[in-house]
Amino acid sequence: MEKFTPRNIRNLIIYCIYVRNHSHEGTFNAVIDDLERIASLGVDAIWLMPIHPIGKLNKKGSLGCPYSIADYRAVNPEYGSLDDFIRLINKSHGLGMKVLIDVVYNHTSHDSILIQDHPEFYYQDQNGRPYTTVPAW
């Protein structure tokens, strides 16, 4: 742990949740229904794997990768609505748990809104099309 990390957060018990796989329903509401059980384990914070919409263009497999984000300002509609997500946050806080979201900013989906809104953020070929320096992705 980095030496400047505040002492009050150095030993948190963090429970990782991948919404899609956390329950049969794979929704924010199903996670909400399980928060009291999670809190009873002595958990200080829940850490949600990416909750954003997954890109469809060139997606991996039938479900896509949760780190292939199409819009960082939206929630994956398969998980529920923004209001559902806010309720999850509020219930977590009410149970004394912090909420962390796993986000990777060094890549997006091939159909990310950022490609349209900010093409300058991306490597581009001679025709102005975005490309990756990591071919598998």
Interval 86-111: pLDDT, tens? 999 999 999 999 999 998 888 889 89
What pLDDT score was predicted for residue 136? 67
Q: What string of pLDDT tens digits covers the 137 residues of the chain?
A: 678 888 888 889 999 999 999 999 999 999 999 999 999 999 999 999 999 999 999 888 888 999 999 999 999 999 999 999 999 999 999 999 999 999 888 888 989 999 889 989 888 889 988 878 877 66
What pLDDT score was predicted for residue 2? 75
What pLDDT score was predicted for residue 35? 98
What pLDDT score was predicted for residue 10? 83
Predicted TM-score (pTM) of this structure: 0.87
**What's the chain's average pLDDT?**
92
Number of Cβ within 10 Å of residue 66's Cβ equals 19
Burial class (CB in 10 A: 0-12, 13-18, 19+), 55: buried
CA 127 to chain centre: 32
Query: Percent helix, strand and coil across the chain, each rounded to 5?
Result: 30, 10, 60
**Tokens describing residue 60:** 């991996």
What pLDDT score was predicted for residue 107? 82
